[in-house]
Amino acid sequence: MKNPLREYRLTLTRRQLFGRAAHGIGTAALASLVAPRAFGSKGLPGFPNFAPKAKRVIYLHQSGAPSQMDLFDPKPQLASRFGQDLPDSIRQGQRLTGMTSNQKKFPVAPSVYKFSQYGKAGTWFCELLPHMAKAADDICVIKSLYTEAINHDPAITFIQTGSQVAGRPCFGSWVTYGLGSENADLPAFVVMISRGTGRPVDQPLYDRLWGSGFLPTSYSGVKFRSGGDPVLYLSNPPGVDRAVRRSMLDDIQQLNEANLKAFADPEIATRIQQYEMAYRMQSSVPELTDLSKEPASTFEQYGPDSRRPGTYAANCILARRLAERGVRFIQLYHMGWDHHEGVPRQLPPQCKDTDQPSAALIADLKQRGMLDDTLIIWGGEFGRTVYCQGNLSPESYGRDHHPRCFTMWLAGGGIKPGVSYGATDDYCYNITENPVHVHDLNATLLHCLGVDHTKLTYRYQGRDFRLTDVHGNVVKDILA
């Protein structure tokens, strides 16, 4: 005759056994749900490791890779080398993508755009970025970034997670894991996506880019939508009012708590937490996303597109509102920068999408006294080639992927304003001064948040993992 109790005990998995043995895990998890403002919003013990300059991050990821030499890194001497083959001494046998590896020649394609210097340091900006140019004294332009990936998916995965192979936590997940949140009624990590007008059909984005990898799923980014419910299934279904929803959640929570006590599985605690967060978000999110109370001056500042939900400009306003409410990590993805052909046709609309709203975000935060403790990041996953992909003419050219050097800019919390860092050669092909690896960039960004990147780790499959893997050095020259 079977013994039900014995059968139940034999079904314990290894995870459950160790979970039970870890005294207090289940109790601590439950306490975090009962009093989220007092407990659950905190990060890891001892974090931040030192006094932070930045409390929150707004990451403006330009998906597809903007052309650095058309926007921030002018090479006027190339005008006299139009159509000449890129010298072997410059290319140095560096690898190519499958899209240009079969080209017999690599003709130099000078930028068709004019550049001017702005700010006290004389930072260079393209004529397509007049609003960013006016913010020159508030930003730090890094011209010497480089990465290890040459194609989009591994490159964007690498800059977001520190690995070209999918499955690791993204930057936002690491930050919220280490530092927690300042608002129990909103997710600690929010993601918004906009589609560029320069190239509406562009590289796809995957939800795993804002996923928590092997961290508990409570640290994943929550994607806000521009139509319908800002968050899927946030509204109650027909016939279910708030009181009924509360009663249902209470019943479900009792079942989940019983399982949590029995198995000590942290994913059960995550499920309870997500249900509770969703309930609180039914009040907090509609108020957040309702821009009707914003003054007309806000929309004038961010540009005409800011009145249309789902645009980059509208998402920038929401990013500021999220920052005001204590959301730790806000990530905007703007698609449309993958310009393999027709750069003079596709680049201007992309710049129009992002130029004024990005500059307005800096000015808006500064006016509200929030720029000093908000870290803003603008850039893509790699750069573009100086040589033309496909047919070259004086009026049109395309650019392939280029991991050897690219440009990003930073502003706000902990970053030295009004500086340009690093340099590239005459062909904008190789770095000649102050190289900054992606791991160095992420180590520096974590430093601004008061985090020693070597200490923010998570043990998984017998190894301690971190965002910067086993690499990364803080770039002290760009710190305020």
Query: Do 313 and 291 meet the contact criterion of CB atoms below 8 Å apart?
Result: no
Taking 3-state DSSP, the helix, strand and coil percentages for the chain, each rounded to the nearest 5, stand at: 40, 20, 40
Predicted TM-score (pTM) of this structure:
0.88
Residue 139's domain comprises 43-227+309-478
Residue 175 and residue 455: Cα distance in Å, rounded?
12
Residue 157 lies in a domain: yes
Q: Name the pairing type of β-strands 222-224 and 423-424.
A: unpaired
Which tokens hold the place of 135? 């913010």
Q: What pLDDT, on a 0 to 100 scale, did the predictor assign at position 12? A: 54
Which residues face 244 on adjacent strands? none
**Quick one: 150 and 287 in the same domain?**
no
Which tokens hold the place of 95? 């690898």
Phi, psi angles (nearest 5°) of residue 61: -85, 125
Residue 235 lies in a domain: no
Residue 4 lies in a domain: no
Q: What pLDDT, on a 0 to 100 scale, did the predictor assign at position 38? A: 34
Q: Which residues contact 13 (CB under 8 A, 6 or more apart)?
A: none
Does residue 15 have a pLDDT over 60?
no
Question: Which of 464, 368, 377, 324 minimizes the C-alpha distance to 61?
Answer: 377
pLDDT one-digit tens code per residue, 23-36:
444 434 444 444 34
Q: Name the pairing type of β-strands 56-62 and 374-379.
A: parallel
H helical segments located in 396-462: 438-448
Length of the chain: 480
Residue 167 and residue 39: Cα distance in Å, rounded?
28
What's the start-to-end Cα distance of the chain, in Å? 73
Q: What pLDDT, on a 0 to 100 scale, did the predictor assign at position 471? A: 97
Q: What pLDDT, on a 0 to 100 scale, did the predictor assign at position 237? A: 77
Residue 22 lies in a domain: yes
**Quick one: 35 and 51 in the same domain?**
no
Residue 256 and residue 251: Cα distance in Å, rounded?
9
- Say what the alpha-carbon torsion angle 413, 324, 353, 151 is, to the nearest 10 degrees: 60
Residue 273 and residue 277: Cα distance in Å, rounded?
6
In one letter, which amino acid is 426? D
Residue 237 lies in a domain: no
Confidence of residue 39 (pLDDT cuts 50, 70, 90): very low
Q: Name the pairing type of β-strands 423-424 and 431-433.
A: antiparallel
**Quick one: 58 and 68 in the same domain?**
yes
Residue 1 lies in a domain: no
Query: Do 422 and 434 meet the contact criterion of CB atoms below 8 Å apart?
Result: yes
Query: Do 290 and 321 meet the contact criterion of CB atoms below 8 Å apart?
Result: no
pLDDT one-digit tens code per residue, 324-380:
999 999 999 999 999 999 999 999 999 999 999 999 999 999 999 999 999 999 999
Query: Do 192 and 210 meet the contact criterion of CB atoms below 8 Å apart?
Result: no
Angle between helices 152-161 and 438-448 (to 10 degrees): 30
Residue 321 lies in a domain: yes
Average pLDDT, the chain: 90
Question: Which of 420, 291, 405, 305 minimizes the C-alpha distance to 355?
Answer: 305
**Quick one: 217 and 71 in the same domain?**
yes
Domain count across the chain: 2
Three-state DSSP string of 282-319: HHHHHHHHCHHHCCHHHHHHHCHHHHCCCCHHHHHHHH
Query: Do 380 and 317 meet the contact criterion of CB atoms below 8 Å apart?
Result: no
3-state SS assignment for residue 367: helix
Return the H-helix or E-strand segment holding 399. strand 399-402
Give me the residue label for tokens 């052909």. Answer: 341
pLDDT one-digit tens code per residue, 119-153:
999 999 999 999 999 999 999 999 999 999 999 99
> Is the torsion defined by CA of 361, 61, 65, 411 positive or negative?
positive
**Quick one: 19 and 145 in the same domain?**
no
Give me the residue label for tokens 């072997």. Answer: 88
**Quick one: 108 and 222 in the same domain?**
yes
**Quick one: 350 and 202 in the same domain?**
yes
**Quick one: 164 and 290 in the same domain?**
no
Residue 128 lies in a domain: yes
**Quick one: 191 and 248 in the same domain?**
no
Among 297, 319, 342, the domain-final residue is: 297
3-state SS assignment for residue 446: helix
pLDDT one-digit tens code per residue, 148-204:
999 999 999 999 999 999 999 999 999 999 999 999 899 999 999 999 999 988 888
CATH number at residue 206: 3.40.720
**Quick one: 120 and 22 in the same domain?**
no
Does residue 18 have a pLDDT over 70?
no
Question: Which of 351, 333, 382, 330 minimizes the C-alpha distance to 68?
Answer: 382
Can the peptide bond before residue 48 be classed as cis, meaning omega within 30 degrees of 0? yes
| R_g of the chain, CA atoms, integer Å | 24
**Quick one: 49 and 154 in the same domain?**
yes
**Quick one: 219 and 278 in the same domain?**
no
